Amino acid sequence: MNAFGMRLLASAFATAAGFASATVWAQSSALPALPMEPPHDSGQSITGAYEGWFRNSDASFTMLVGYYNRSQKSAVEIPIGADNRIEPGGPDQGQPTHFLPGRQWGIFGIRVPKDFGDKKLIWTLNANGKTMQIPLSLNLLWELEPFKDANGNSAPYISFRQSGPFKNGPVAEAEVLTAIAGSPVNLPVWVAEDEKLAPGARRPATPPAVLGWSKFRGPGAVAFQNPRPDIEKLEIKAAPAGSVFTGKAMSTATFSEPGDYILRVQVNDWSGEGGRGFQCCWSSALVKVAVKPAAGK
């Protein structure tokens, strides 16, 4: 079996386990027990999930990381610090502080230099009094190809302007906005998708691209007018070559209090969440929002 096949087998095993794509360490560095127990709505641990790594055009590497919040209904806030740290070089290496319920695929990336070699990073999370750690390395078994799969299917493209630029991949684009606490800010996104399927596969009845918004960081609550807005079909002349479906999605976000926030938008194609566990093909972007106090406050 070649290295690519070994990666697929390893990833499929991790996905079938419904857990994480990396070895999980307890605080004592021993492997934790994974008892079969019913899901809980709240109060559970959060484990980082190492999806793998990919090569960048400048010879550096990006480690793609998600997480598994075992609480099925409760989001958890964990500020950067002793309870949410990536070391060495941290504690802040771009990880979230707002953790949604359940398994969240490829939420952020950590760029490491071309001479990173066999070094490791450790992500430590302490949620509800339960501390979990995962190692992140450039082990060859975890090399990913998140931009295009073996069938030629490319990750959807995202832009914050109709004229572009359009970018794709799990850490595709960044945008900076300003807002006033208590007042909605517009969140327009333009999308382009190639609509490719595996040979012989039937065309699904679902839309070719699905978009979702979530909070990534920030001191207060974020209310989205529609966290999963429809993508309205629209001809976009600046869309990348090969795009079959193009469109625009519109939502708004309202912030409960002033401060610095980061929102995350993700666009899935027919491969679904986490590319069915194989990390292709979907795209995401982070939006930084500086929220100012309302007038007179």
Q: Which domain holds residue 62?
A: 3-142
Q: What are the tens digits of pLDDT across the range 52-88?
A: 999 999 999 999 999 999 988 889 999 999 999 999 9
- Assess contact for 213 and 224: CB atoms under 8 A: yes
- Tell whether 124 and 165 lie within a shared domain: no
84-102 pLDDT, tens digit per residue, is: 999 999 999 999 999 999 9
Residue-wise pLDDT for 116-175, tens only, equals 999 999 999 999 899 999 999 999 999 999 998 888 899 999 999 999 999 999 886 688
In a domain, 149, yes or no: no
101 within 8 A of 74, measured Cβ to Cβ: yes
Q: Please give the Cα distance from 78 to 67 (Å, whole number).
A: 13
Together in a domain, 10 and 134? yes
Longest dimension (CA), the chain: 67
Question: In this structure, is residue 147 part of a structural domain?
Answer: no
Tell me, yes or no, whether 14 and 101 share the same domain. Answer: yes
Give the model's confidence band at 21: pLDDT under 50 very low, under 70 low, under 90 confident, else very high.
Answer: very low
Residue 148 lies in a domain: no
> What confidence score (pLDDT) does residue 32 get?
40
The whole-number pLDDT of residue 105 equals 93
**What is the structure's pLDDT at 8?**
42
pTM, 2 dp:
0.84
Give the number of domains in the chain.
2
Those residues with Cβ within 8 angstroms of residue 56's Cβ, 6 or more apart along the chain or in another chain: 62, 111
Residues 119, 248, single domain; the answer is: no
Same-domain check for residues 169 and 79: no
